[in-house]
Amino acid sequence: MKFLVDAMFGRLARWLRMSGYDTVYDAGLRDGRMIGIARDEGRILISRDRELISRTKAENVPALYVTSLDFTEQLRQMEGEFGVVFQDSPELSRCPVCNAELRLTCKKDIKAKVLESVIEQYDRFWVCSGCEKIYWHGGHWKNVCGTLERLRGAKND
Ligand SMILES: [Zn+2]
């Protein structure tokens, strides 16, 4: 399952990538180009622009109208509509910045790029195969857990 996310949903795009879903997000894309990419690459277009959604559907490309401006609600809608599973491990993730795949890396290879205190504190590090940004559980992922808890907690009520 691959996605193309409209300009106003950058946070959702990052979350989809962090959860391992191949997601195109480029605020510079115009409507026609977005529809073209979604069609050519087999992506589901995610937007809150009704006109764009109906144009997309008219071309037989799957599209989802985002109903809520609340972020947790948006995650819940993605789960409900597509069975998207949001998770908080870099292991299964793509780079939230550039969408490329992450791979495990060795501590000795990242010495120049990551603070020594961080290297001492964590065991595993991942590097983006695209932009070469370094990731670890405690870094980029530290705020993810709270939102996931809200998402799961609210569902169990
Ligand atoms: Zn990257």
Distance in Å, CA 17 to ligand 1 centroid:
10
Q: How far is the CA of 94 from the centre of ligand 1 (A)?
A: 8
pLDDT tens digits along 33-80: 999 999 999 999 999 999 999 999 999 999 999 999 999 999 999 999
The CA distance from 27 to 9, in Å, is 9
Question: In the chain, what are the helix, strand and coil shares in percent, each to the nearest 5?
Answer: 45, 15, 40
Q: How far is the CA of 96 from the centre of ligand 1 (A)?
A: 7
Q: How far is the CA of 54 from the centre of ligand 1 (A)?
A: 32
pLDDT at 136: 87
* Full-model pTM: 0.88
Chain Cα centroid distance, residue 77: 15
Quick one: pLDDT at residue 30?
Answer: 95
Collapsing DSSP states into helix, strand and coil, what is residue 23? strand
Report how far ligand 1's centroid is from the alpha carbon of 82 (Å).
Answer: 25
